[in-house]
Structure 1
């Protein structure tokens, strides 16, 4: 939005981004990659069967996952899947918050997931790929255009980690160097910190929330006139 509709940037004082996606040139998540390389087949499948959200809300999957993952039999299995998807066991997981997360897991737009897959597969942060023929109709070119992220001028703070295998540190640093006003790159001190630790770390308050809020306060104070 900020790159395509720059007038909206005036409405944002400071963007504090936690493990942001965007550039995905170093994506190697072993659990998700097999789906990425088959995104064209998955797109056809979704269109054929009119699948618009995952998981379908009518499945009541929240209740199913919650009941399964809070039993002794499946608790370890759920934890293993959690760590496999997010980048490993950092030792940070707050087990008490997992039932809450499972209870309120949202559904996700299938097109959003497929667009994410297109970005990873192409190596470009670009608009939706309709295929060469329709791309010519929509964009006037065979490949979808990249988002002009260099137009983003909103003051931006990036919070990221080394063990995150969904939003890689090098990709975040690259996009920080590309936008106009990246004013902070905060690398999490725990080198094993994963993507999901930004939500579920038992040390979240001290390791992330406190430095984030302190920086917001410093930014606000710096923006105030002397006689405020």
Structure 2
């Protein structure tokens, strides 16, 4: 969004030290001390590892490197950035003391009412222990390279005969909003299948994340037209959080991407978040 509208720039202009998290597996995080990206074990992780290992490493690094004696930070996450936050704060609750405020944009935990057509289509195949999930669990999904970029450009360009199919993947229509069949309906640990679950968890079914242990001040920002974070799922999550505040977007068309790319994001998201951060800092 550029220096005039991006939240990171606005926070820097207000005098805050801004750190941008870099989750494992993305374009800018492909190095490993011993493994190549060609090795299947490089990809053997989920957002649980990002939340349990990577996010606390980022928090501690920022606090140590800043050298101003701060004991806590303000955390801002969007989509998966919220999921990994809940993972960390519920499994390592001591980190709640290191959070002044948590701003959760399009929060994703429970997803049984999510209507994203791509995720719904792949969920039954990649979301369970079967031949498909075993095939893909140790591989990069949609690798970022010239071939994939060229394929996407030619298949989804405006002049492509397949452009209508591409648009379906990003359709934000609220029709059929309640998909109660989507997966388990739980926000829980990774499901290895009954046999390995017994070895890892001593349970046939993975345990739920104890989100009631998330005591840091958590602000949930959500919209009615979000195909990844359905309103009913956000409200269900909010019922489990002991120290949260809801922020409902008045625009009925506000969708998942609008939280970071809408032309009026400064007015509806950035400025209110900065005000909340200032209010919390003024109390300390």
TM-score for the superposition, normalised by structure 2: 0.59
Q: State the structure with bigger RCO (CA 8 A, min sep 6), 1 or 2.
A: 1
CA distance in 2, matches of 1:204, 1:144: 38
Q: How does 1:18-167 map to 2 (within 5 A)?
A: 18-39=105-126, 44-48=131-135, 51-62=138-149, 65=152, 72-74=158-160, 77=164, 80-81=167-168, 83-84=170-171, 87-88=172-173, 120-167=182-229
CA distance in 1, matches of 2:97, 2:163: 47
CA distance in 1, matches of 2:272, 2:254: 16
SS of 1:32's equivalent in the other structure is helix
User: Which residue in 1 is equivalent to 2:255?
Assistant: 194
RMSD: 2.8
Which stretches in structure 1 are left out of the alignment for 5+ residues?
A: 90-118
User: Which residue in 2 is equivalent to 1:12?
Assistant: 99
CA drift at 1:216:
1.7
User: Which residue in 2 is equivalent to 1:206?
Assistant: 267
User: Which residue in 2 is equivalent to 1:173?
Assistant: 235
**CA deviation map 1:79-135 (0-9, x unaligned):** 834641xx249xxxxxxxxxxxxxxxxxxxxxxxxxxxxx95011101011111111
CA drift at 1:181:
0.8
Q: Is the 8 A contact 2:102 2:219 kept in 1?
A: yes
Change (3 A) 1:42 1:194: farther
Q: Is the 8 A contact 1:88 1:194 kept in 2?
A: no
Which stretches in structure 2 are left out of the alignment for 5+ residues?
A: 1-87, 175-180
Change (3 A) 1:82 1:24: closer
**CA deviation map 1:14-49 (0-9, x unaligned):** 110000100123223334312212235785335336
TM-score for the superposition, normalised by structure 1: 0.72
Number of residue pairs the alignment of both structures matches: 190
The structure that is helix-richer by fraction is 1
Q: Is the 8 A contact 1:46 1:52 kept in 2?
A: no
